[in-house]
Structure 1
Amino acid sequence: MIPKVHRSSDMVRLLRYLAGPGKANEHTNQRVLAGDLVTASVFVGRVDTARAVEIARLLDSPRQTLLRGEPVLAVSHKKARALMAEGMSRTEAYTAATKVENTWHCSLSLGAEEGQLDDATWTAIAHDFMTEMGFADRDDQVPDARWVAVHHGLSANGNDHIHIAAGAIRPDGSRLDTYRDYSRAQDAARVLERKYGLKVLASREEGGTERGTSQAERARQERTGAPETEREALRRRVRAIAMATGSEAEWLREMRAAGIVVRPRYEAGGTDEVIGYAVRWPAHVAEDARPEKPIWYSGGKLAKDLTLSAIRGWAAWESGPAAREEALTEWRHGLAEKAVRPRRGAEAASPEMQDRVIAELGAWSRYMRTIPVGDRDAWATAASQSAGAFAALSMRTEVRPGPLDRLSRQLARAGQQPAHTRRPHNVHGSGLRSVARMLWAAQSPQASQVALATALVECLTEIGRMLEASDRAHAAAAMASTARRALTEIHMRAEGIDPSRPYRREAGSPAWACAMRAAAVVNGTDRRETEHQIAEATPLWHQEQLMSRIRPGGERYDEKGQILGETAQQKEKRVRDALDAAARPRTPAQNRSGKGADPTLFGRTRRSMQPGDWAAMRDGTEELHTYSADPDSSAPESSAGPARTPETEHPEHQPYRAPESNPRHDRDHGR
């Protein structure tokens, strides 16, 4: 179960949305399942937008009555401090960091694979969730909040879910306690998953989560025309540069050289100790020439392992007094530092460099096998460093986040650990720095770096074995699945197969061979045996592919297995040929009056007909005139052979004559 908390200012707008058709008309059978005592006694059942307005007024009535409609304000002191650090005055900063929060809204969603729950179960879950959150059934005599639970069918992705809306003010005038409500909602979901036998999220139980991409970020990406969101771009670069540099000062210089604006966060009371940072891109201009306001992202908002303290733990930077003083000098340059040209190695794309990188990765894999399973700090550090190497290769081979970036993020989630469990200094050193440095400095590597990706995936499988040995089977299985899919996609792109287009997957096809090779690497099976199986199945598939070209009505696909669809040019040619054939003059069979069949006999006029309709009707009526008044004329031949006549079928028979009229017989048949 996934809870998602929102706060907003307009209760009526929220309830109208929940009872309405939805953004894509996906809401169906909108109904109220549960609520507080007053709300449930009146509004349980089907709900429309008019009734939703009444519910909204009831939920908001304590604020309207006791506060005379005054808004409930919430101030983000963290945002205010960040704005003041940018030079904004205190008054303006706190005004900008204040927003109205009259409503509290949370959705509880199940995965599509879990199916649907009945209304009685959802009702019980809603009551238990509000109790776990402390919004209802309290032991301190505090009245329940005004709340309602609405169900309106499956989401666009097929997820069964409910929405819970509550007013920010209780009936006694006290304010709803929303402190740490995000984490409290996760704790409540954990309790409900076990109570109702739902799927337990491994990410919540074992850690390894990351912040999702919001709709606003996607919309900003579309406006600016960027290949990825700003958060994704910053996350890839910050992680890759951290692994490719040897000191904190070098990390700062290289980030600024990559065009990233960096801002330090000093310890309170001075500028002698940097305890955090924030990054952003320079101001963008959208396609409609509107400037986009720059957005700052702290290290923790990029990823949990990209906070400054976490990077200092796993990046294994130099930590002597001279290195710390150099880093502090770089931090003090602040926003005034001008970008310089990033360092690039001329030999980075050479085959010798790739051989050196693969050899280093092999040594790193052997080193990880020596890490004790119980040394969580050591293998978490190894996972974060491997994530940095993947991010460096992703930066040089992927225009937008692809399979290598997914593997990097998977490893980064495995490397997350609480700050109090990290060692002050990394005792194992960094065996991947030279690898990441060479990958980051690459000038023009090919997008199909299969050998490098395979060597990196072997490092990832070692992390997976450590996870499985340390009773984190869910995380190990997720890592193996991600690695298998990502490496399959890398092999497919190297073979010239576009994974975004439909393709054949049966045994012997190129896509199947790519999946077999990826599975052999991830599962650690014999690769020579895998290649032998591929060599045996491929010729049979090629024979089937050749037969498909001459088989009528079959699915067409090329030698790579990509399914061939009708292109726009092919469709245009087919329509044009059909129109030409319909307009071609033909000699229809004559009817008894000696004229062609008139379309007005079928209830249509010539003026109302479209091009080609007359030819289609004419062709269809030809079969009606098997016999002609002209003894010299012959009936048209059909695909079954020449038309048969009574003389040719039974020469001794006479031509057909209509029977004599029988009044009683005609009357009985309605004639």
Structure 2
Amino acid sequence: MIGKVTRGHSVARLLSYLYGPGRHNEHVNPHIVAGFRLPMALEPGLARGNRDFRHLVGVLTSPLDTLRHTPLASPVWQCSIRAAPTDRPLSDDEWADIAQEVMHQTGFAPRGDDQACRWIAVRHADDHIHLVTVLAREDGRNPSVHRDYFKVAKACHAIEERYGLTRTAPADRTAAPRPSRAETELAHRKNWPEPPRTALRRHVAMAAAGSETEDDFFATLKEAGVLVKIRHSVRTPGEITGYAVALPHHTNQKGQPVWFSGGKLAANLTLPKLRHRWSTPPDAHGRRAPRRYAPSGVELTHQERSAAYQQAARATATATWQMRHIQDSAVRADVAAATSDILHVTAAITGNRELAHAADFYDRAAREPYGRQPRQTPYGSTLRTIARTLARSEISARLNHSHRPSLTSALSQLIVQLAALIETVADLRQTQQRIAQAAAARKAAVQLTDLTRTRPRQPSPPLPAVIRPQTPNHNAARLAAADFPVPLSQHLATAPYQRPRTAALPPAPARRRPPSR
């Protein structure tokens, strides 16, 4: 059950909409199921075939005239409570109990308080109701609206347990901000494959996974065709305090880019938290070792790149063992977070959309609740080093990519190990009672497992890329993708990875028996 809160000024306009035909779905039999008085006494009457809201509006807004303090800027509080599509239909009495629980948890109309705010609950569909509350108590005091969103979520969780409804995830900030309705409709009108917020979040996550410093991070974003705006400190000149990104084709009415800060993309993509990720973990004595930068522009042969992918697969398999046998919560949290870097870099190397979607799914499972950053450990730093090595390794563009053997087998082994590691993370989140994160991890694992199936699959469209001028040395993501003339999923369908089997020993020669006497 989900509750959505909005604020407004006019009760009359809100009632006109609730009792009207609706904008996106039909309003059927709108009526009041609960309120501060009996619903029958509050139901608006009919006048010449139309609803007459004048009496109801006057009753609801009368406490505003007796306030001892200045009314709130938006005194009309509206909350829509919606059940899941798979939940059973609820009766009017059950919806009335749900409305009373929400009003009690928010503190606007606690049970037994005769001087609380005036409110009603209107039902015009089977799966949801609308709560209308005027934020003015009858004793002349203003109600507290502090943390009303979280109070509504708490009430919804209590309702789900009471009526056996579909459980929703807690508001723990592990989910990335979703694109707004305006962003989604704009992407649909422009025929974009996805909203700009989603594409930017993926670009930033991939750049952060393959970078070691801020300079590398910003340079990688600019190389990917992303516009970057750096925010400097007002008190300390020259100090960088934040950043914002935008896509060149996403502009406002004035033709200016629409910027998104790191915090608007995900809770773990702010600049301070990225700096925490790039820092080296302390040793047993609390000292931090100096960072060793991987050289860029390294020319790798086919065997060297295959060895790099095999090393990444072995490190991923080791991380799976560590997740299962090391009971330290800090180690598990750090390994789960670092797994996201490996997955994002692998998606960038292959340019495969299905891998990118798997990385998007897993992002929520990798984050800690309420934006907390896991303490860095050597176990997670090993995975991050592997990810940066894969992202920073380059090979000369003079090689003829069309005649090099395919690396599908080595990458398939890495994907298989990633799927096993993510399944382990899903089990951990399930044990921690983080149901939404466990579901996100399992969804990513299924996406990875589907890539290794032997049944024929339709090739997935490649990720949209920005055309950039060629340079003497290419980024590893583009160079490795040259090994795949068709999407990775089709390669894996025709040549799935198989574990090497031990060759059978040749049969021993038959021993001759001595002649019998």
Same fold (TM over 0.5): yes
Q: Which residue matches 2:156?
A: 189
Is 1:103 paired with 2:103? no
Cα deviation code 1:595-616 (max 9, x no counterpart)? xxxxxxxxxxxxxxxxxxxxxx
Displacement of 1:370 in angstroms is 2.1
Match of 2:365 among 403, 414, 419: 414
Q: Which residue matches 2:339?
A: 386
C-alpha distance in 2 between matches for 1:374 and 1:193: 33
Q: Which residue matches 2:166?
A: 199
Q: Is the 8 A contact 2:102 2:156 kept in 1?
A: yes
Displacement of 1:130 in angstroms is 0.4
Q: Which residue matches 1:151?
A: 123
The structure with the greater share of residues assigned to helix is: 1
Displacement of 1:35 in angstroms is 1.5
Question: Kindly tell me: are residues 344 and 115 of structure 1, through their superposed partners in 2, closer, same or farther at Cα, counting changes over 3 Å?
Answer: farther
Question: Kindly tell me: are residues 30 and 486 of structure 1, through their superposed partners in 2, closer, same or farther at Cα, counting changes over 3 Å?
Answer: farther
**Higher Rg:** 1
Between stretches 192-201 and 292-301, larger displacement belongs to 292-301
Q: Which residue matches 2:176?
A: 210
**1:69-468, aligned counterparts within 5 Å?**
72-73=72-73, 101-137=74-110, 143-154=115-126, 160-201=127-168, 203-204=169-170, 208-222=174-188, 225-258=191-224, 259-264=226-231, 270=236, 277-281=242-246, 284=249, 290-291=253-254, 294-316=257-279, 353=305, 356-371=308-323, 372-395=325-348, 402-418=353-369, 422=373, 425-428=376-379, 429-439=381-391, 452-468=414-430
C-alpha distance in 2 between matches for 1:440 and 1:152: 57
Secondary structure of 1:7 counterpart:
strand
Percent of residue pairs identical: 25
C-alpha distance in 2 between matches for 1:297 and 1:148: 38
Question: Kindly tell me: are residues 32 and 138 of structure 1, through their superposed partners in 2, closer, same or farther at Cα, counting changes over 3 Å?
Answer: closer
Displacement of 1:406 in angstroms is 3.7
Q: Which residue matches 2:43?
A: 43
C-alpha distance in 2 between matches for 1:46 and 1:129: 29
Displacement of 1:386 in angstroms is 1.7
Q: Is the 8 A contact 1:407 1:482 kept in 2?
A: yes
Displacement of 1:176 in angstroms is 3.8
Q: Is the 8 A contact 2:6 2:77 kept in 1?
A: yes
C-alpha distance in 2 between matches for 1:440 and 1:10: 57
- TM score, norm. by length of structure 2: 0.70
1:163 partner letter: H
RMSD: 4.7
C-alpha distance in 2 between matches for 1:55 and 1:527: 76
Corresponding residue pairs, total: 449
In structure 1, stretches of 5+ residues that fail to align are: 74-100, 155-159, 325-342, 500-512, 529-671
Question: Kindly tell me: are residues 36 and 142 of structure 1, through their superposed partners in 2, closer, same or farther at Cα, counting changes over 3 Å?
Answer: closer
Question: Kindly tell me: are residues 461 and 48 of structure 1, through their superposed partners in 2, closer, same or farther at Cα, counting changes over 3 Å?
Answer: farther
Q: Which residue matches 2:513?
A: none
C-alpha distance in 2 between matches for 1:256 and 1:19: 51
Displacement of 1:126 in angstroms is 0.4
Structure number with higher relative contact order (C-alpha < 8 Å, ≥ 6 residues apart): 2
C-alpha distance in 2 between matches for 1:452 and 1:10: 58
**1:468-479, aligned counterparts within 5 Å?**
468=430, 470=432, 475-476=437-438, 478-479=440-441
Q: Is the 8 A contact 1:149 1:165 kept in 2?
A: yes
C-alpha distance in 2 between matches for 1:433 and 1:11: 58
Displacement of 1:255 in angstroms is 2.8
Q: Is the 8 A contact 1:406 1:486 kept in 2?
A: no
Q: Is the 8 A contact 1:3 1:107 kept in 2?
A: yes
Question: Kindly tell me: are residues 62 and 307 of structure 1, through their superposed partners in 2, closer, same or farther at Cα, counting changes over 3 Å?
Answer: farther
Between stretches 289-298 and 163-172, larger displacement belongs to 289-298
Q: Is the 8 A contact 2:31 2:122 kept in 1?
A: yes
2:383 partner letter: G
C-alpha distance in 1 between matches for 2:9 and 2:272: 36
Q: Which residue matches 2:15?
A: 15
Question: Kindly tell me: are residues 269 and 450 of structure 1, through their superposed partners in 2, closer, same or farther at Cα, counting changes over 3 Å?
Answer: same
